[in-house]
A and B are shown apart, each in its own frame.
Chain A
Amino acid sequence: MAEEIWSQEYWALKGDVKLFMWRKRVGDPAHDTAPKPVLFLVHGSSFSGPTGFDLQVPDKPDYSLMDKFASYGFDVWTLDHEGYGRSDSTDGNSPISEGVHDLKAGMDVIIRETGQTAAAFYGSSSGALRAAAFAEAHPEHANKLILDAFVYTGEGAPTLIERAKKMDQWTASNVRPVDRAFFLSIFTRDKPGTTEDGVAETLADTELEICDAVPTGTYVDMCSDLPVCDPTKTTCPVLIIRGEHDGIATEEDLLDYFNKLPTRDKQFVIIPGLAHVTFLGRNRARFWHVMKNFLNAPGRVDQQ
């Protein structure tokens, strides 16, 4: 029988902005005090942390990335960035740079609760930009970095070319409305069929219960401010994962970033059968496998 997964809500504070955090692991930490490696999941532009990473799809098991990695032995956390999900909405548009401050506030909570000062960070899409920028700003808090559905300069990216056509709309307001049709479009824009029927619908239902608009800051950043990350400033081991059909970046753009990373512990993995939202795709088990293998790589015997 599978071990029971324990969960709890937390709140981080960024100034007077309250940020919602969600944690899952096997065993109540009040009783099970043995430290587990911390994995911090960073959400992207269009849906909040628990909705994306802890999705429970009726009659379809194994859609929660948090449950999966908790079962692998990790202490898994996520956070709703400013203006998303259960976190405070402000007059700001929650750009990438604000996301870095959010993650710092979240990391303070993790340090307080776990006693661990560094975590492995996973980010998807603009969440990967937030996570990479955080690793640059606070290298002492990032021991490994996984960048999924990442984009560096944005040069030639089909999704961003399309998105930039609405730049006036993204800059006219600090939020953009989201509805069911929009959420469904995320899962079909690259390659229809890479996600099971019912997954996008469940995600839409879940997210629309808590919001009907999300901030525009990351869209503005990705259309007009790239690059927002400097690979030469990232020092920890890095895994770049790319779904075969992801239109958010070209392969050349990602390899350029990869080549500039100074660390010699780095991996570039392309996974067929996946699109932009790898962790909710039909072939997500292949994504889990790659991510788990990277996180569990043995250390160097000459540095122990």
Chain B
Amino acid sequence: MTNPITNMPNDPGDIQGEEHWAKRDDIDLFLFRRYSPTARAANPDKPVLFLVHGSSFSARTAYDLDIPGQGDYSLMRTFAGLGYDVWTMDHEGYGKSTHTDGFSYIADGVEDIKAAAPIVEKVTGKKSFCFFGSSSGALRAGGFANACPDRVEKLVLAALVWTGEGSPTLKKRAEKIDEWRASNRRTVDEAAYLNIFNRDVSGLTIPELPAAAAKAEMDNGGGSVPNGTYIDMCVNLPVVDPTKVDCPVMIFRGDHDGIATDEDVLGFFTALPNSDKQLVMVSGQAHNTTIGINRGRFWHSLDGFLGMPGRVDQ
């Protein structure tokens, strides 16, 4: 049986949730894992999938959201059901990870993932993983692929921005650069999420989503997030070098995403040296592809890329 909304297999009934912790200097970093023993046994070749969150949600708000009565909103549960060993983490200052005086910039996020990788390796026995990142999470994941190519099997970048040239969202965001610099944190509440989900286009998320995300974020991390990635995206791009990404890459872009222009994303894609690469543009999607009403189309593309057969000549 498949879920009629997501077009993905239904929950196998034994999905586990495990908490783990990593440490970067004196910062405690929260990791969360989901997997299904049944689905893992049936799909032993499915990889470890590490999900990297963006600027405004902690990990489980972004990737493990539960909205009662509204269908499956958890990317972690869905991909655990498909047989993947799914991990995510709260970056410095987000969710259950230590809230420091720092800004949690993209570069800090790369260090967070470096700290998490040995924990994932210890639990799973795998040295390299598939990475998915959305928005500034794509920049963190891309930065990690630059820094630690031996740890990255495949890389999926959604809601990506490279140089930021001509980006409507970043142009608007930069108007408040003094505000982002004045404090290391900003409040995220229902109003903030309503704006995030409707800034590109309305109607591609359900009306209940902002309240559900705000409640989850309050439960997970107290309702505020660091400003570092906002500052990076306004004044420090580019922070990822496509010419130094060695692994297969899929770029996923929603048709209404204002975080970047087509030209900017095409420029990044063209500069990737690995000829195993895909650029997927899908309609009915805005910035937050993972929790939109057409998330099933994104999940289909993600599973398709990660499930690509290997080369028989290697």
Is A272 a contact of B266 with CB atoms below 8 Å?
no
Q: Which of A263, A273, A302 contacts B313 (CB 8 A)?
A: A273
Is A255 a contact of B266 with CB atoms below 8 Å?
yes
Q: Give the docked Cα–Cα distance between A293 and B309 (Å).
A: 12
Is A267 a contact of B280 with CB atoms below 8 Å?
yes
Given A267-B280, A273-B313, check contact A244 B294 (CB 8 Å). Answer: no
Stretch at the interface among B99-107, B137-145, B215-223, B269-277: B269-277
Q: Give the docked Cα–Cα distance between A252 and B282 (Å).
A: 22
Q: Give the docked Cα–Cα distance between A300 and B266 (Å).
A: 24
Mask of B1-15 contacts with A, CB within 8 angstroms, 1/0: 000011100000000
Is A268 a contact of B279 with CB atoms below 8 Å?
yes
Prevailing SS type, chain A contact patch: mixed
Q: Shortest CB–CB separation between residue A273 and chain B, in angstroms?
A: 5
Interface check A193, CB cutoff 8 A: yes
Q: Shortest CB–CB separation between residue B231 and chain A, in angstroms?
A: 31
Q: Give the docked Cα–Cα distance between A212 and B266 (Å).
A: 44
Q: Give the docked Cα–Cα distance between A193 and B314 (Å).
A: 12
Interface check B301, CB cutoff 8 A: yes
Mask of A242-276 contacts with B, CB within 8 angstroms, 1/0: 00100000011001001100011111111111000
Inside 8 A of B203's CB, which chain A residues have their CB? Answer: 302
Inside 8 A of B5's CB, which chain A residues have their CB? Answer: 301
Is A251 a contact of B281 with CB atoms below 8 Å?
no
CB < 8 Å A-B pair total? 91
Is B277 a contact of A270 with CB atoms below 8 Å?
yes
Interface check A290, CB cutoff 8 A: yes
Is B275 a contact of A301 with CB atoms below 8 Å?
no
Interface check B182, CB cutoff 8 A: no
Inside 8 A of A272's CB, which chain B residues have their CB? Answer: 274-276, 311
Inside 8 A of A293's CB, which chain B residues have their CB? Answer: 300-301, 304
Q: Shortest CB–CB separation between residue B49 and chain A, in angstroms?
A: 17
Given A259-B266, A293-B304, A300-B297, check contact A267 B281 (CB 8 Å). Answer: yes
Q: Which of B283, B301, B314 contacts A264 (CB 8 A)?
A: B283
Most buried by A among B269, B277, B280, B293: B280
Is B270 a contact of A251 with CB atoms below 8 Å?
yes
Stretch at the interface among A40-48, A74-82, A281-289: A281-289
Interface check B43, CB cutoff 8 A: no
Q: Which of A282, A289, A297, A303 contacts B300 (CB 8 A)?
A: A297
Given A301-B5, A302-B203, check contact A283 B312 (CB 8 Å). Answer: yes
Q: Which of B204, B255, B276, B279 contacts A271 (CB 8 A)?
A: B276
Q: Give the docked Cα–Cα distance between A272 and B249 (Å).
A: 12
Is B277 a contact of A300 with CB atoms below 8 Å?
no
Q: Shortest CB–CB separation between residue A5 and chain B, in angstroms?
A: 22
CB-CB contacts below 8 Å: A157-203 with B? 193-194
Interface check A15, CB cutoff 8 A: no
Is A302 a contact of B275 with CB atoms below 8 Å?
no
Is B277 a contact of A193 with CB atoms below 8 Å?
no
Question: Chain A contact residues (Cβ within 8 angstroms of B): what range?
Answer: 20 to 34
Q: Give the docked Cα–Cα distance between A66 and B103 (Å).
A: 56
Q: Which of A267, A290, A301 contacts B279 (CB 8 A)?
A: A267
Q: Give the docked Cα–Cα distance between A97 and B299 (Å).
A: 39
Interface check A298, CB cutoff 8 A: yes
Is A273 a contact of B301 with CB atoms below 8 Å?
no
Interface check B149, CB cutoff 8 A: no
Q: Which of B204, B276, B307 contacts A302 (CB 8 A)?
A: B204
Q: Which of B204, B255, B275, B309 contacts A285 (CB 8 A)?
A: B309
Mask of B57-100 contacts with A, CB within 8 angstroms, 1/0: 00000000000000000000000000000000000000000000
Interface check B54, CB cutoff 8 A: no
Given A301-B5, A302-B293, check contact A264 B308 (CB 8 Å). Answer: no
Interface check B262, CB cutoff 8 A: yes
Mask of B26-37 contacts with A, CB within 8 angstroms, 1/0: 000000000000
Inside 8 A of B311's CB, which chain A residues have their CB? Answer: 272-273, 282-283, 286
Is A301 a contact of B296 with CB atoms below 8 Å?
yes
Inside 8 A of A268's CB, which chain B residues have their CB? Answer: 269, 278-279
Given A271-B276, A302-B204, check contact A289 B308 (CB 8 Å). Answer: yes
Q: Sorted from nearest, which 3 A-B pairs have the closest CB atoms?
A: A264-B255, A293-B304, A298-B7
Other than the given A273-B311, A301-B296, A303-B284, 9 more pairs (CB < 8 A) read A263-B283, A270-B278, A290-B304, A293-B300, A297-B301, A298-B300, A301-B293, A301-B294, A302-B204
